[in-house]
Structure 1
Amino acid sequence: MLTMLTGPSIPTAPVRWTRPSDGLYKVNFDAALFEVSGCAGIGVAIRDSSGAIIGALSQKIALPHSVELAEALAARRAVVFAQELSIANVLVEGDCLKVVSALRDPAGCHTLYGHIVEDTHCLASQFQSYGFSHVRRRGNLLAHALARRAVSSADFDVWVEELPVELESIFQTDLI
């Protein structure tokens, strides 16, 4: 049975990263643009209810025409990554209010990135339960660091149940 966990309204966004409920996995996403390099980075961090890392990725992509398109692509990649790890119950969380609002709106998205939002909805409908939530940048630091890492590393890096050593302090800060 498919359950969407959240509705179209956006409650006050938390300032810090918070643990998901038992049985739920939080999938944080972010994008970073590097105009000088002509690329963007996508970062995704998946954590369980204890806060443990289930998976993380850092991916370099071609520079999109807007921040919102980059964030929408990051949200879609977050959903796909959770599916690749066979996770069934997710809360997908990002810090771009426009994109999260579009993802939460059942009426559809009529923007230049609307097709990405619709594709993300279609992909998310394959989960047992899912939801989309907004968090302030301070609560999305790990995904942001993964997105920024993409410009200086390989085109695509994935970690399962671990993180790059240089991001360990950001991860630990979230858990305090």
Structure 2
Amino acid sequence: MFTLQQVAKQARTMFTQYQVTTWTAELQIGSSGIGGTRWRPPQASFVKINFDGAVFCHSNSSGVGAVIRNHDGAVMASYAEKLNQAYKAEEIEALAALKAVQFVYDLGFQKVILEGDSLGLIKALKAEEHNLSPLGLLVEDVKLVANNFVSLSYSHIKRSGNSVAHNLAKHAIRIPDFQVWMEDVPSHIVSFLHSDVVLLP
């Protein structure tokens, strides 16, 4: 198991080969299409991080998971985290988004697509107006972290296209707290990775 500092150091070294020589200095936050049913890779020089949350009512806990992949569909990193509280469904999705965007930032990636299967959350992230509800405060936290990227866009995908992140979130029930896999996922999730990539054009 890696510490987050070790992961970040390793990822920054790994990431240099994916950096483009010039990046626009102006932050660009955009949006991407809504409602795809299959995972699609990002454009070259971007990474896509898929995230999801799960609630384990029987153990009064929740889980979040995310996977970062490049334009070839190769895994850059993945993680799962167990949270010792059973959140509401919409809350755990927003927390998963926040933790995912913090994770991909800590690893040094700067051109990112953040993708999840909660349509309401993705719409809230794309909205320009501020939302002061408890859920809205989590959304604002995501947007705040988003300001640290050269480019960050939000994309919705249906559950069928988000199976890797979904199963990472469910895997959180099996771990004590936080676990990271560099360029990999847990072995029982490999089949979901393969099903994403096999039909790519």
Match for residue 88 of structure 1?
A: 110
Partner residue, 1:4: 29
SS at match of 2:31: coil
Q: Hey, what does 2:192 align to over in structure 1? A: 170
Structure of larger gyration radius:
2
Amino acid aligned to 2:95: L
Distance 1:65 1:165 in 2: 27
Equivalent residues in 2 for 1:140-155 (5 A)? 140-155=162-177
CA contact (8 A) 1:19 1:49 kept: yes
Unaligned 5+ segments in structure 2 are 1-25
Supply the distance in 1 between the matched residues of 2:87 and 2:184 (Cα, whole angstroms).
32
Cα distance, 1:5 vs. partner?
2.2
**Percent identical residues:** 35
Cα gap change, 1:60 to 1:51, in 2 (>3 Å):
same
Q: Is the 8 A contact 1:102 1:108 kept in 2?
A: no
Which ranges of 4 or more aligned residues in structure 1 deviate by more than 4 Å?
A: none
The structure with the greater share of residues assigned to helix is 2
> 1:93-108 counterparts in 2 under 5 A?
93-108=115-130
TM-score normalised by L of structure 1: 0.94
Q: What residue in structure 1 maps to residue 16 of structure 2?
A: none
Conserved 8 A contact 1:15-1:135: yes
- Structure 1 gap segments, 5+ residues each: none
With 157-166 and 126-135 compared, the bigger mean Cα shift is at: 157-166
Contact 2:62/2:87 (8 A) holds in 1: no
- The CA RMSD over aligned residues, in Å, is 1.2
Residue correspondences, number: 173
Could you tell me whether the CA contact under 8 Å between 2:55 and 2:87 is conserved in 1?
Answer: no
**Given residue 5 of structure 1, which amino acid in structure 2 is its aligned partner?**
G
Identify which range, 75-84 or 107-116, moves more after superposition. Answer: 107-116
Q: Distance in 2 between matches of 1:16 and 1:129?
A: 23
| TM-score, normalising length: structure 2 | 0.83
Match of 2:15 in 1: none
